[in-house]
């Protein structure tokens, strides 16, 4: 193993080898197409030698001998990978969506996803307008941390510590630069992580959570209505109690009527006169 490969992790070496094999397969398929299109089978004209596109700016004859009849030996030179893991090899890599070869892209640089910039623009929208029903059409757009937790039922542990750790882009908060740093995640990776954690039942759990919220809100409303009824009843009862008046008489100002032989005393509060006869 070379010194440049010792700095790479096993996962990176495996990904690079997989990309190299796919690139070689694409090269072989293009060679077969060229051979089928340029093969000449006429009998009257002299036969031309079959040429193979080397994809290096020149063609190779199918005959394995050179002009002086010495055999031509082709050596397979291994690809020397870059020492930095974020640099691609000279062959590039195929996009996982369109299968076209690209050298670098925004999603590969920041999120380690083999997606070219053309496909990223095709499957992404402005993240502030998150009202698209089909999320597959916006899978390569960016999503905020708060929205990832609320819409995909993820926790801080899932976003920060769960292996393999998610990559994110840190930016200053556009609403207020004094607030904390805003972290943006790739929606495709968030969807994949949520599907793994909730076993593909994220939508069902979201509906269940909304139903629980609605039920909790309904119970709170009914409790407020019941409390309002109790308050009204209590105020009416207090009013009834206050309407029951107890007379307070001035015993010193009692008057006596000799014609009727009756005594009269007057309430100090309402002026009611109470007549009585002493036995």
Helix, coil or strand: residue 225: helix
pLDDT for the residue 41: 44
Closest CA to 140 of 96, 99, 173, 206: 96
- Helix H or strand E segment including 200: none
How far apart CA 49 and CA 42 sit, in angstroms, is: 13
Helices in 73-165 by DSSP H: which ranges? 106-111, 117-122, 145-151, 156-160
Burial of 168 (0-12, 13-18, 19+ CB in 10 A): buried
pLDDT tens, residue order, the chain (279 aa): 444 445 778 888 888 888 888 888 777 776 666 566 555 444 444 455 555 555 555 555 555 444 455 555 555 555 444 444 444 445 688 999 999 999 889 999 999 999 999 999 999 875 444 455 567 788 999 999 999 999 999 999 999 989 889 999 998 888 887 888 889 999 999 999 999 999 888 889 999 999 998 999 999 898 888 888 887 777 766 655 556 677 787 777 788 777 777 888 888 877 778 887 776
Q: Annotate 24-80 with three-state secondary structure.
A: HHHHHHHHHHHHHHHCCCCCCCCCCCCEEECCCCCEEECCCECCCCCECCCCCCCCC
The ranges assigned to domains in the chain are 141-199, 246-278
pLDDT for the residue 261: 77
pLDDT for the residue 239: 59
Residue 167 near residue 110, CB atoms below 8 Å: yes
Residue 257 near residue 264, CB atoms below 8 Å: yes
pLDDT for the residue 117: 92
pLDDT for the residue 50: 55
Rounded to the nearest 5°, which phi and psi values hold at 102?
-140, 155
pLDDT for the residue 120: 92
How far apart CA 220 and CA 216 sit, in angstroms, is: 6
Q: How many residues does the chain have?
A: 279
Residue range 141-199 forms a domain whose CATH class is alpha beta
């Amino acid at each position: 193993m070379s010194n440049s490969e010792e700095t790479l992790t096993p996962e990176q070496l495996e990904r690079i080898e997989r990309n190299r094999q796919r690139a070689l397969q694409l090269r072989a398929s293009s060679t077969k197409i060229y051979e089928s299109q340029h093969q000449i089978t006429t009998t009257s004209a002299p036969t031309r030698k079959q040429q193979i596109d080397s994809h290096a700016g020149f063609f190779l004859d199918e005959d394995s001998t050179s002009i002086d009849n010495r055999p031509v030996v082709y050596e397979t030179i291994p690809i020397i990978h870059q020492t930095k893991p974020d640099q691609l090899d000279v062959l590039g890599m195929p996009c996982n969506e369109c299968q076209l070869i690209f050298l670098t892209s925004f999603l590969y640089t920041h999120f380690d996803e083999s997606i070219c910039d053309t496909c990223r623009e095709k499957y992404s929208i402005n993240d502030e307008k998150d009202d698209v029903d089909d999320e597959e059409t916006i899978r390569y757009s960016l999503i905020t941390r708060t929205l990832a937790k609320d819409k995909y039922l993820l926790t801080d542990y899932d976003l920060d510590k769960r292996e393999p750790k998610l990559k994110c882009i840190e930016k200053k908060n556009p609403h207020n630069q004094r607030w904390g740093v805003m972290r943006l995640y790739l929606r495709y990776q968030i969807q994949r992580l949520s599907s793994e954690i909730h076993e593909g039942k994220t939508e069902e759990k979201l509906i269940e959570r909304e139903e629980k919220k609605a039920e909790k809100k309904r119970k709170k409303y009914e409790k407020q209505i019941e409390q309002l009824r109790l308050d009204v009843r209590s105020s009416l009862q207090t009013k009834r109690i206050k309407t029951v008046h107890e007379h307070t008489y001035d015993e010193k100002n009692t008057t006596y009527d000799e014609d009727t032989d009756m005594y009269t005393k007057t309430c100090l509060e309402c002026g009611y006169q109470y007549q009585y006869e002493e036995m």
